[in-house]
Amino acid sequence: MIRHGPYLLILAVLYGIWWVILAIHPWHRSDWILENVLALAAVVLLAVFYRRLMFSRVSYTLIFVFLCLHQVGAHYTYAEVPYDAWFRHLTGRTFNSLIGWERNNFDRVVHFSYGLLLAYPVREIFLRVVNVRGFWGYFLPLDLVMSTSMLYELIEWGTSVVFGGDLGQAYLGAQGDVWDAQKDMAVASLGALVAMGTTAAINWRFQRDFAREWAESFRVKHKAPLGEDALARMARK
């Protein structure tokens, strides 16, 4: 098995090459810049916290795949990724006609991938930093993916309002669907649910204390009420 250092170096070099290739002549440079703001922030955070919180190779690989998919959407803009043309070139028919889609759904695929690919790295954070166990080790990653998906939709909406015009519409990528934001959040949540369900199934199969850990996670750890009771206790000290 490749050690963490060399493995991460390989992923970093591959992502750097992929980024440079897709940075050349993007279809809409202004949209490409906007799409790369959060991607750059994610890469910086991973680098800053590398020594303090080193993820598993599985998590780094999942993050790498998601960032690569995002760069494809950034290069073409999500609503214009020509996957149909690629598929027709290979098979002679469009992918949308095969599946029954009526719009460019690359953005939906990436939203689904957001939940599917990033829920497990988020779970690592909850287990290793927050020290959650049992049910909460699966529910909280799902919950965070859902809430950050909602936050991203708000960012998209705010950005489209601020920039307006073609740039705002390109970044929003709604393609005329009034329920686009809700559907994006739904597929991201579904992806996270699949990821956590799969993780739970694997742990149920191989983790000997799986049932006991789940039962323990529902046990009340602190009997004393909080709220006004906790405030009164602090005031008496």
> What is the C-alpha to C-alpha distance for residues 60 and 121, in angstroms, rounded to an integer?
8
* Residue (of 63, 107, 62, 81) closest to 22 by Cα position: 81
Q: What is the pLDDT of residue 46?
A: 93
In the chain, domain spans: 4-219
Question: Which pLDDT tens digit goes with each residue over 46-65?
Answer: 999 988 999 999 999 999 99
> What is the C-alpha to C-alpha distance for residues 195 and 178, in angstroms, rounded to an integer?
28
Question: Which pLDDT tens digit goes with each residue over 135-186?
Answer: 999 999 999 999 999 998 888 787 777 776 666 565 555 566 677 888 899 9
* Residue (of 27, 53, 4) closest to 170 by Cα position: 27
> What average pLDDT does this structure show over 28-39?
88
Q: What is the pLDDT of residue 24?
A: 95
**C-beta atoms surrounding 204 within 10 Å:** 11
Q: What is the pLDDT of residue 161?
A: 75
Task: Say if residues 72 and 22 touch (Cβ distance below 8 Å).
Answer: yes
Q: What is the pLDDT of residue 171?
A: 55
Assess whether pLDDT exceeds 80 at residue 124. Answer: yes
- The mean pLDDT value of the chain amounts to 89
Confidence of residue 5 (pLDDT cuts 50, 70, 90): confident
Q: What is the pLDDT of residue 168?
A: 52
Question: Which pLDDT tens digit goes with each residue over 61-91?
Answer: 999 999 999 999 999 988 889 998 999 999 9
Task: Report the percent of the chain where pLDDT is more than 90.
Answer: 59
CA angle centred on 75, ends 10 and 156, rounded to 5°: 105
Q: Which residue has the tokens 């799986």?
A: 210
Q: What's the chain's length in residues?
A: 237
Assess whether pLDDT exceeds 90 at residue 103. Answer: no
Q: How many helices (H) and strands (E) does the chain have?
A: 11, 0
What is the DSSP code (8-state) at residue 54? Answer: P
> What is the C-alpha to C-alpha distance for residues 137 and 56, in angstroms, rounded to an integer?
16
Q: What is the pLDDT of residue 181?
A: 83
Q: Which residues have CB under 8 Å from 119's CB, separation 6+? A: 141, 142, 145, 191, 192, 195, 196
Q: Tokens representing 139?
A: 């529910």
Question: Which pLDDT tens digit goes with each residue over 175-230?
Answer: 666 778 888 999 999 999 999 999 999 999 999 999 999 999 999 988 888 888 78
Q: Is the pTM of this model over 0.85?
A: yes
What is the DSSP code (8-state) at residue 221? Answer: S
What Å distances lie between residue 20 and 25, 28, 165, CA to CA?
10, 16, 28
Q: Tokens representing 39?
A: 């991607």
